[in-house]
């Protein structure tokens, strides 16, 4: 009896301790992760993290503010969340002057997109109007959602593919002096509600092809609704989204839509896509991050795409995919894929996915496992665009993530109503009129961004606040680029209903770097799909020129490698899309190498 009483007392004490445990764990976590709360101190940031950012858009002459569309009045009660995308950014050197320029999209009806020409002196000038690619959001044609650049006719100048909730557009670059609209000639469809597109040469014929992923069904004109039943039919397995398009480049300025023949038949709600050669076959495989569902991965055999989402492990647990970016984060020559999702304290913790190739798997048997938690990049709020890049030139790829969905009233949240409808049956949630009105409430608004530094030992540490990334806009797209040819990666961030931000990077001079500006000859001239493997200090890192990645974004075509202090640079091996292998022995560090594909 006495023993039982003693046991009861001990267990009761333990019980109270267990109730206190979550509070203590939170307190310990806050103490441990204190560095993220630190304000920017440039010298401290340089010493501790090897870099810091300064937001310089105004001094650089960039005063772009994104406008959201105003859709059919029937959507008015939930307009802020329906009209919540469209801010995008893509990097291009449109006039081949060797300095990267910036193209940003706008989404208000009648609003103008901007092409910021790099003036080489730290400032930019918007030349979109004179180049003929500004006035692209006229009423009746839809509004811009994203843009990607690729030289589809191999004339040496990057052409513009603009995707919209509306009519997609193709603009031919006339030698850097202007753009000609060639949409009809190219054979693009009259209406696609798309949020993702990319250039890639899927069949290796030296001509860039195009993938476009639909979000809303292409039957829907969001300004003139015939029905309010336009929402997803499931929050997890929705298949009533937009169709996918694969446009095969015929080489005469025309494209042929071949998605069905090629094996891409999905109607999931695509928000992001990226392509990279995951198996060393020489053909780019295709990854699609879908909202309201599972991600999709297609292995490409050069002619057909094979849906391997389930067998590779990336297509099982449905989340809210909003980003697809590849990076060789372990410096082992294999790509990880980062997919952003939603996490909101106490309501919904999907967690972002960092898919890494499983040890011992490769080729057709390649499998992935989600190690986002283990590596520390799982929780990023309502995450949107993210990109890998070596921000401090230490030789490891870091991760820049922007986030935040709808920032309205700071003190009133829509999450309760959102969670209520999210649990509903498909016949309820598919109809926009069943959704509770937002009434000015925020939904995961005013969020702090993440800048995760890769410590090279399997962990990413968030240092956003400490390195000067302090904005809380509703971030959508991120592009990484060495804007001023200094050997560092700057970050350009497009915000929904917010300003375009340019975070200028300052990196410790101790860390060395090298960049590759590639130009194809037998391969597509943009060199999209070309791969550089850099070998230094006994390690290697692989990067590939991308025709679009992240969310509604495209990084610079130039590949940037950091190598840390005193690197012994052994060689760089370039594998061109044509299959040619080119090796550069002992290239000098701290330079931008311009390489043309050898004949």
Q: Give min distance, CB of 291 to other proteins, in A.
A: 14
Q: Which is nearer to other proteins, 20 or 65 (CB)?
A: 20
The yes or no reply on residue 236 touching other proteins (CB under 8 A) is yes
Q: Give min distance, CB of 352 to other proteins, in A.
A: 10
Q: Give min distance, CB of 425 to other proteins, in A.
A: 4
Q: Which is nearer to other proteins, 211 or 382 (CB)?
A: 382
The yes or no reply on residue 317 touching other proteins (CB under 8 A) is yes
Q: Which residues inside 152-191 make contact with other proteins, applying CB under 8 A?
A: none
Q: How far is CA 50 from CA 42, 140, 388, 446, 497, in A?
A: 10, 49, 17, 27, 32
Pattern 505-544, other proteins, x by CB under 8 A: ----------------------------------------
User: What is the rounded CA–CA span in Å between residue 118 and residue 432?
Assistant: 43
Q: Give min distance, CB of 36 to other proteins, in A.
A: 14
User: What is the rounded CA–CA span in Å between residue 463 and residue 289?
Assistant: 26
Pattern 331-370, other proteins, x by CB under 8 A: -------------xxxxxxxx-------------------
Q: Which is nearer to other proteins, 34 or 579 (CB)?
A: 34
- Residue ranges of the alpha helices (H) in 50-189? 79-82, 128-131, 183-186
Pattern 392-431, other proteins, x by CB under 8 A: ---------------------x-xxx-xxxxxxxxxxx-x
Q: Give the burial class of 446: count Cβ atoms within 10 A of its Cβ; 0-12 exposed, 13-18 middle, 19 or more buried.
A: middle
Q: Give min distance, CB of 406 to other proteins, in A.
A: 16
Cα torsion 221, 226, 229, 232 to 10°: value is -10
User: What is the rounded CA–CA span in Å between residue 480 and residue 466?
Assistant: 19
CA angle 190, 191, 197 (to 5 degrees): 105
The yes or no reply on residue 37 touching other proteins (CB under 8 A) is no
User: What is the rounded CA–CA span in Å between residue 114 and residue 134?
Assistant: 6
The yes or no reply on residue 229 touching other proteins (CB under 8 A) is no
User: What is the rounded CA–CA span in Å between residue 318 and residue 521?
Assistant: 41
User: What is the rounded CA–CA span in Å between residue 368 and residue 316?
Assistant: 11
Q: Give min distance, CB of 413 to other proteins, in A.
A: 8
Query: Nearest CA to 204 among 518, 528, 517, 516?
Result: 528
Q: Give min distance, CB of 70 to other proteins, in A.
A: 22
User: What is the rounded CA–CA span in Å between residue 244 and residue 257?
Assistant: 10
**Applying CB under 8 A, which part among 95-103, 314-322, 537-545, 571-579 lies near other proteins?**
314-322
Is 519:576 a contact under the CB 8 Å cutoff? Answer: no
**Applying CB under 8 A, which part among 36-44, 67-75, 143-151, 316-324 lies near other proteins?**
316-324
Q: Which is nearer to other proteins, 444 or 524 (CB)?
A: 444
Pattern 47-86, other proteins, x by CB under 8 A: ----------------------------------------
Query: Nearest CA to 129 among 115, 149, 108?
Result: 115
Residues 6+ apart with CB under 8 A from 63: 57, 499
Is 500:64 a contact under the CB 8 Å cutoff? Answer: yes
Chain centroid to CA 122: how far? 25
SS3 (DSSP) at 530 = coil
Q: Give min distance, CB of 235 to other proteins, in A.
A: 6
The yes or no reply on residue 311 touching other proteins (CB under 8 A) is no
Is 437:447 a contact under the CB 8 Å cutoff? Answer: no
Q: Which residues inside 432-471 make contact with other proteins, applying CB under 8 A?
A: 433-437
Query: Nearest CA to 547 among 153, 46, 158?
Result: 158
User: What is the rounded CA–CA span in Å between residue 311 and residue 168?
Assistant: 33
According to CB under 8 A, which one of 46, 83, 337, 379 is a site residue for other proteins? 379
The yes or no reply on residue 28 touching other proteins (CB under 8 A) is no
Q: Give min distance, CB of 101 to other proteins, in A.
A: 39
β-bridge partners, 575: 531, 581
**Applying CB under 8 A, which part among 6-14, 98-106, 268-276, 324-332 lies near other proteins?**
6-14
Q: Which is nearer to other proteins, 52 or 414 (CB)?
A: 414
Ordered DSSP codes for 385-422: EEEEE-TT-SSS-EEEEEE--B--EEEEESHHHHHHHH
Q: Give min distance, CB of 20 to other proteins, in A.
A: 8
Is 136:168 a contact under the CB 8 Å cutoff? Answer: no
Residues in the chain: 599
According to CB under 8 A, which one of 68, 188, 294, 477 is a site residue for other proteins? 294
Query: Nearest CA to 273 among 406, 146, 150?
Result: 146
Q: Which is nearer to other proteins, 329 or 375 (CB)?
A: 375
Question: How many residues at the interface with other proteins, by CB under 8 A?
Answer: 56
According to CB under 8 A, which one of 101, 158, 328, 378 is a site residue for other proteins? 378
Q: Give min distance, CB of 349 to other proteins, in A.
A: 4
According to CB under 8 A, which one of 7, 139, 260, 509 is a site residue for other proteins? 7
Q: Which is nearer to other proteins, 5 or 184 (CB)?
A: 5
User: What is the rounded CA–CA span in Å between residue 256 and residue 317?
Assistant: 34
Q: Give the burial class of 2: count Cβ atoms within 10 A of its Cβ; 0-12 exposed, 13-18 middle, 19 or more buried.
A: exposed
Q: Which is nearer to other proteins, 423 or 538 (CB)?
A: 423
**Applying CB under 8 A, which part among 195-203, 234-242, 442-450, 559-567 lies near other proteins?**
234-242
Q: Which is nearer to other proteins, 315 or 567 (CB)?
A: 315
The yes or no reply on residue 255 touching other proteins (CB under 8 A) is no
What letter would DSSP give residue 168? -
According to CB under 8 A, which one of 34, 316, 410, 581 is a site residue for other proteins? 316
The yes or no reply on residue 237 touching other proteins (CB under 8 A) is yes
- Looking only at the bridges linking them, the beta strands covering 179-181 and 142-150 are unpaired
User: What is the rounded CA–CA span in Å between residue 557 and residue 552?
Assistant: 15
Q: How far is CA 514 from CA 14, 367, 488, 562, in A?
A: 57, 32, 9, 7
Q: Which is nearer to other proteins, 16 or 65 (CB)?
A: 16
**Applying CB under 8 A, which part among 107-115, 263-271, 371-379, 384-392 lies near other proteins?**
371-379
Instruction: Kindly list the residues in this chain that would bind other proteins in the complex (CB under 8 A).
Output: 4, 7-8, 11-12, 14-15, 18-19, 21-23, 25-26, 233-237, 294, 316-318, 344-351, 372-373, 378-379, 413, 415-417, 419-429, 431, 433-437
């Amino acid at each position: 009896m006495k023993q039982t009483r003693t046991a009861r007392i001990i267990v009761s004490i333990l019980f109270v301790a267990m109730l206190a445990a979550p509070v203590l764990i939170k307190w310990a976590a806050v103490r441990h992760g204190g560095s993220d709360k630190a304000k920017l101190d440039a010298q401290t940031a340089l010493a501790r993290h090897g870099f810091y950012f300064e937001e310089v858009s105004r001094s650089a002459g960039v005063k772009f503010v994104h406008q959201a569309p105003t859709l059919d009045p029937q959507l008015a009660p939930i307009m802020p969340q329906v009209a919540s995308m469209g801010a995008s950014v893509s990097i291009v050197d449109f006039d081949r002057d060797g300095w990267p320029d910036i193209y940003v999209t706008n989404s208000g009806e009648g609003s103008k997109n901007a092409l910021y020409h790099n003036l080489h002196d730290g400032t930019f000038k918007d030349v979109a109007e004179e180049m003929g690619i500004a006035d692209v959001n006229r009423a009746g044609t839809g509004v811009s959602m994203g843009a990607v650049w690729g030289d589809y006719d191999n004339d040496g100048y990057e052409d513009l593919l603009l995707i919209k909730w509306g009519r997609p557009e193709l603009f031919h670059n006339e030698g850097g002096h202007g753009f000609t609209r060639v949409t009809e000639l190219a054979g693009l469809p009259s209406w696609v509600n798309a949020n993702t597109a990319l250039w890639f040469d899927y069949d290796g014929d030296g001509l860039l092809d195009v993938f476009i992923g639909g979000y809303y069904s292409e039957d829907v004109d969001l300004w003139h609704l015939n029905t309010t039943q336009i929402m997803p039919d499931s929050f997890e397995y929705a298949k009533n989204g937009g169709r996918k398009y694969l446009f095969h480049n015929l080489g005469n300025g025309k494209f042929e839509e071949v998605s069905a023949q090629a094996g891409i038949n999905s109607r999931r709600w695509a928000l992001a896509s990226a392509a990279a050669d995951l198996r060393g076959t020489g053909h780019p495989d295709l990854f699609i991050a879908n909202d309201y569902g599972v991600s999709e991965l297609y292995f490409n055999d050069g002619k057909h795409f094979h849906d391997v989402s389930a067998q590779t492990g990336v297509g099982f647990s449905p989340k809210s995919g909003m980003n697809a970016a590849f990076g060789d984060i372990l410096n082992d020559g294999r790509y990880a894929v980062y997919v952003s999702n939603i996490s909101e304290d106490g309501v919904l913790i999907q967690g972002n996915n960092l898919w890494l190739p499983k040890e011992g798997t490769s080729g057709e048997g390649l499998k992935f496992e989600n190690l986002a938690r283990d590596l520390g990049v799982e929780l990023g709020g309502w995450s949107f665009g993210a990109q890998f890049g070596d921000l401090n030139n230490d030789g490891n790829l870091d991760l820049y993530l922007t986030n935040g969905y709808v920032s309205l009233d700071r003190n009133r949240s829509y999450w309760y109503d959102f969670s209520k409808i999210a649990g509903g049956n498909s016949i309820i949630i598919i109809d926009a009129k069943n959704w509770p009105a937002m009434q000015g409430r925020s939904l995961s608004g005013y969020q702090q961004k993440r800048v995760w530094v890769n410590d090279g030992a399997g962990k990413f540490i968030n240092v956003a606040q400490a390195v000067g990334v302090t904005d809380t806009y509703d971030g959508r797209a991120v592009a990484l680029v060495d804007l001023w040819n200094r050997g560092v990666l700057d970050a350009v961030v497009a915000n929904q209903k917010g300003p375009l931000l340019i975070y200028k990077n300052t990196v410790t001079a101790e860390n060395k770097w090298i960049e590759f500006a590639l130009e194809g000859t037998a391969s597509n001239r943009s060199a999209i799909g070309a791969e550089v493997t850099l070998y230094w200090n006994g390690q290697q890192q692989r990067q590939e020129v991308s025709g679009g990645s992240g969310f509604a974004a495209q990084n610079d075509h130039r590949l940037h490698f950091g190598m840390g202090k005193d690197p012994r640079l052994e060689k760089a091996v370039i594998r061109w899309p044509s299959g040619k292998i080119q090796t550069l022995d002992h290239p000098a560090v701290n330079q931008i190498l311009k390489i043309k594909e050898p004949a």
